[in-house]
Structure 1
Amino acid sequence: MTAVLITSLIAGGLALLLRWRRPAWYWLGIGVLIASVRVLVRYGSVMEACGLTVPPSRMRLALARATRTVAPSSRVPHILGIRPTRTGLVLRIKLRPGQDAYDFIASTDRLRHSFTMQGVSCREIKAGVVELRMTGYDVLKRVQMPARAESGVLRVPVSLREDGAVHYRDYREVPHALNLGATQSGKSVYQRRLVAALAGQPVALVGIDCKNGVELAPLARRFSALAANQDDALGLLEALIERMDGIYELIRAEQRISADVPDAEITADIWGLPEHLRPLPVVLLIDEVAELALFASKEEEKRRDRIVTALVRLVQLGRAAGIYVEICGQRFGSELGKGITMLRAQLTGRVAHRVNDEASANMAFADISPDAVLATTQIPTERPGTAVVGDSSGGWVITRTPYTSLRQAVNVCNAEAARTPELPELADYRPSLAPALKAVERVSEAA
């Protein structure tokens, strides 16, 4: 008896240690079985307690009265299947007549408590079928990206969602985005992650970093053009517009809209062009956009207006020419002057890390979802990299970016330096490697 007790204590201690140190291993080995049994056993009572049942049909009630038997109880929605995942469970449910997917979406927090899960989210698969994605542990506490993540040209994995799924930055689906965040919120880490993920793809990276290039200069080996001050930024943006105009002329010449050409071969962007004619896509990364909008004199105001006008033209017209814009900053609102709200309206993707005030969260999500604004203001300080990601459709989710040091990003960019294309329009802004090498040496010494 004593040996059995000691063995049980040791096994319990090892399980607790595994749950603390390797929650994913604990979940796959032990937690998924316990959670599956708990969900199946509690399912009926939980549905009834959360008001997700429907009363019995008239036929069953009439039959009970005719046979003088006990009245049938309320009916629970039918389980179509339960599937374990790396981070939780997926429960697919068939709705009863009269139920709506919104009933389950509104009850996700109560379901989370009732099933004793870390998190529950709900989405409608098709008419009459909903899917509950339940997370078994806090996947954002120690972010571990899957060893294998799907990727493609201009579609890169950047962070982990709170439901355990991978969040992708897909430039062809969401061409332009805004990335907000206070100091030490993880905004720069998110940007490094993007650069490191795009470095191995056939794309041209262009950067504007008005902090004298301290964020992007160490990565210069993979950048086709880089501006470190406002004057260079203006010239670079106007050169990109010149490239965009040239690409539109190419598209117009190759549209092939004569009557004898099938509709499938007619194109209005670079992705419909033959591969040998297709220009390389360009991703423009802007660090601290407020520096481009500030001015202290009449001359600087004229330069500022030209910069903002060029940015608005790029985000309005650049997608078809294969130019995608990623704007980062601590604040981004009307106080930066005219044209800024017009620019923000064109930025479909929104990413907001921890902010210092609610007004900053409103800049990102006030026109999308009040719930996203509330979630942004609740991001804790001790979890850098946590962000609320949304788009203009109103959908949003909490994610966290795995930590990527500047040294790691530099190593990736150096290894992929051979992929850096030379763009004739941007030749004047090709970064000099001498300052970049000095920056890399400083990073190495600090490490």
Structure 2
Amino acid sequence: MTWFTVALMLVVVTAGLLRWRRPAWYWMTFGVTLAVARVLVRYGSVMDACGLTVPPSRWRLTLARLANRPMPESRPPRILWLRPTRTGLVLRLKLRPGQDAFDVAAASDRLRHSFSMYGVSSRELRSGVVELRMTGYDVLKRVQMPAKTDVRPMRVPVALREDGSVHYRDYRAIPHALTLGATESGKSVYQRNLVAGLAPMDVALVGIDCKQGVELFPLARRFSALADNPNTAAELLDALVTHMEGVYQLIRAEQRITSDVPDAKIASDIWDLPEHLRPVPIVILVDEVAELALFANKEEEKRRDRIITALARLAQLGRASGIYLEICGQRFGSELGKGITMLRAQLTGRTAHRVNDESSANMAFGDISPDAVLAAIQIPAEMRGVAIAGDSTGGWHRIRAAHTSLRQAVNICNRYADRTPDLPELAPFRPALPALPSAAVPLSKTAPATA
């Protein structure tokens, strides 16, 4: 009995320490078993208390009266399956007739409290089927990306969502995106994760960093073109527009619209072309868009109009030619001048880190979701990297990118420097860099001879 008591105390102390210091380890060892037991045992009573049950049907009541049996109880949604994950539980429910997915979403906070989980979110998979994703701990406090992710061409895992799933930046689904955030909000780390994820892929990276290149030029070995001032950026964007027009001429020449070609094989963008003819896709990263839109005299105003016009053309026409935009900034509103609102309308993906005022959050989500605006202005200053990610459909998620230091991003870009495409149109803007140092480094320095 003494040894059993000591062992039990050791288990309790270990569980308490893991829950305090390593919540992910606690969840995988103790938490998942306790959570599954709580959900299965409390399920019926919790659903009844949350108003997620339906009264018995008339034929069941009639059968109970004819058989002289007790009246049947109200029925909760049927559990299709319950699956543990490394961050929580996934519960799939089949709704009863008369129930709605909105009722489950409205009860998410009560379900979180009743099942003793950290967070609960719901989404409707199809008519009558709802999926509840429950997290057992705060997955955004210390982000740990899973070892295996669903990486595809032009699809990069960049962050972790608050429900424990991976947030992907899928350029083929959402070609252009806007990222906002105040200083020290984690915007640069998010951008590094994008570059690090794109570096191993067959893609050309083009950077515009008007902060004299302090953010993107350390990663220059993986970039096909870089600009560190507005004058060079204007020329670079003009070259990209010329490249886009050339790609469209290639697509027209290879459209294959003869009568014997099936409709599915007619080419309308670069992804419909044969692989040996397909141009390399291009991702354009603009680090601070306001520096491209500000001007102090007439000459700079002409340059600014030229830049914004080129960006708007690339945003409107670039998807089919394989050109994608990633525009970052602290603010992106109409005060930056004409053409900005038209450009913002083309940026389907929206990501907002901590902002300094509500109007900045409205620039990102005001035309998409008022709830996302409220969530963006509530991000605390000490939680760097936490952001709200949404799109034009109105859906949004709270995400946080794993911390990637500048040295880690530089090492990844140097490792895949040989995958940097050499595009003739962008050759004048290719960064000139010294060769990588040799791997053979002497372990000691020879001392000079002394008399």
Q: Which bracket does the TM-score occupy, shorter chain normalised?
A: over 0.9
Structure 1: unaligned runs, 5 residues or longer: 438-447
Give 3-state SS (helix, strand or coil) of 1:356's partner: coil
- The one-letter code matched in structure 2 to 1:101 is A
Give how far 1:89 is off.
Answer: 0.8
Match of 2:413 in 1: 413
After superposition, the Cα gap between the structure-2 partners of 1:260 and 1:65, relative to the gap in structure 1 and judged at 3 Å, is closer
Provide Cα deviations, 1:380-431, integer angstroms capped at 9, x if missing partner: 1111111111100111111110000111111111111111111111111111
Match of 1:255 in 2: 255
Give how far 1:130 is off.
Answer: 1.1
Correspondence 1:217-366 to 2 at 5 A: 217-366=217-366
User: Structure 1 CA distance, aligned partners of 2:7 and 2:262?
Assistant: 74
Asked if 1:18 corresponds to 2:18, the answer is yes
User: Structure 2 CA distance, aligned partners of 1:8 and 1:95?
Assistant: 41
Give 3-state SS (helix, strand or coil) of 1:328's partner: strand
- The one-letter code matched in structure 1 to 2:148 is R
User: Structure 2 CA distance, aligned partners of 1:9 and 1:427?
Assistant: 68
Match of 1:442 in 2: none
User: Structure 1 CA distance, aligned partners of 2:292 and 2:401?
Assistant: 27
Conservation of the 8 A alpha-carbon contact between 1:145 and 1:159: yes
Match of 1:441 in 2: none
- The one-letter code matched in structure 1 to 2:244 is M
User: Structure 2 CA distance, aligned partners of 1:292 and 1:94?
Assistant: 52
Match of 1:443 in 2: none
Q: After the TM superposition, which of the residue ranges 310-319 and 152-161 deviates more from structure 2?
A: 152-161
After superposition, the Cα gap between the structure-2 partners of 1:323 and 1:379, relative to the gap in structure 1 and judged at 3 Å, is same
Match of 2:422 in 1: 422
Give how far 1:105 is off.
Answer: 1.2
Give 3-state SS (helix, strand or coil) of 1:321's partner: coil
- The one-letter code matched in structure 2 to 1:11 is V
Provide Cα deviations, 1:229-275, integer angstroms capped at 9, x if missing partner: 00001000000000000000010011011222222221110111111
Match of 1:36 in 2: 36
User: Structure 1 CA distance, aligned partners of 2:200 and 2:64?
Assistant: 69
- The one-letter code matched in structure 2 to 1:145 is M
Conservation of the 8 A alpha-carbon contact between 1:218 and 1:436: no
User: Structure 1 CA distance, aligned partners of 2:95 and 2:152?
Assistant: 36
Q: After the TM superposition, which of the residue ranges 378-387 and 229-238 deviates more from structure 2?
A: 378-387
User: Structure 2 CA distance, aligned partners of 1:2 and 1:28?
Assistant: 28
Higher helix share: 1
Give how far 1:22 is off.
Answer: 2.5
Conservation of the 8 A alpha-carbon contact between 1:217 and 1:436: no
User: Taking every aligned residue pair, what percent have the same amino acid on both sides?
Assistant: 71
Match of 2:440 in 1: none
Give 3-state SS (helix, strand or coil) of 1:158's partner: strand
Give 3-state SS (helix, strand or coil) of 2:240's partner: helix
User: Structure 1 CA distance, aligned partners of 2:268 and 2:107?
Assistant: 45
Match of 2:433 in 1: 433
Give 3-state SS (helix, strand or coil) of 1:388's partner: strand
Conservation of the 8 A alpha-carbon contact between 1:158 and 1:401: yes
Match of 2:84 in 1: 84
Give how far 1:128 is off.
Answer: 1.5
- The one-letter code matched in structure 2 to 1:201 is M
Conservation of the 8 A alpha-carbon contact between 1:177 and 1:347: yes
- The one-letter code matched in structure 1 to 2:101 is A
Match of 2:391 in 1: 391
Give how far 1:70 is off.
Answer: 4.1
TM-score (norm 2): 0.94
- The one-letter code matched in structure 2 to 1:192 is R
Asked if 1:374 corresponds to 2:374, the answer is yes
Give how far 1:67 is off.
Answer: 5.7
Structure 2: unaligned runs, 5 residues or longer: 438-451
RMSD (Å) for aligned C-alpha atoms? 1.6
Provide Cα deviations, 1:165-219, integer angstroms capped at 9, x if missing partner: 1111111111000011111110000001111111111100000000011100111
- The one-letter code matched in structure 2 to 1:349 is G
Provide Cα deviations, 1:68-87, integer angstroms capped at 9, x if missing partner: 65433222111111111111
Conservation of the 8 A alpha-carbon contact between 1:219 and 1:436: no
User: Structure 2 CA distance, aligned partners of 1:415 and 1:40?
Assistant: 49
User: Structure 1 CA distance, aligned partners of 2:62 and 2:154?
Assistant: 61
User: Structure 2 CA distance, aligned partners of 1:240 and 1:118?
Assistant: 47
Match of 1:116 in 2: 116
User: Structure 2 CA distance, aligned partners of 1:317 and 1:290?
Assistant: 22
User: Structure 1 CA distance, aligned partners of 2:7 and 2:201?
Assistant: 53
Match of 2:205 in 1: 205
Asked if 1:51 corresponds to 2:54, the answer is no
User: Structure 1 CA distance, aligned partners of 2:253 and 2:78?
Assistant: 57
Give how far 1:20 is off.
Answer: 2.5
Provide Cα deviations, 1:32-55, integer angstroms capped at 9, x if missing partner: 110011011111111111110111
- The one-letter code matched in structure 2 to 1:368 is I
- The one-letter code matched in structure 1 to 2:428 is D
Give how far 1:436 is off.
Answer: 11
Q: After the TM superposition, which of the residue ranges 419-428 and 69-78 deviates more from structure 2?
A: 69-78
User: Structure 2 CA distance, aligned partners of 1:307 and 1:219?
Assistant: 24
Give how far 1:19 is off.
Answer: 2.0
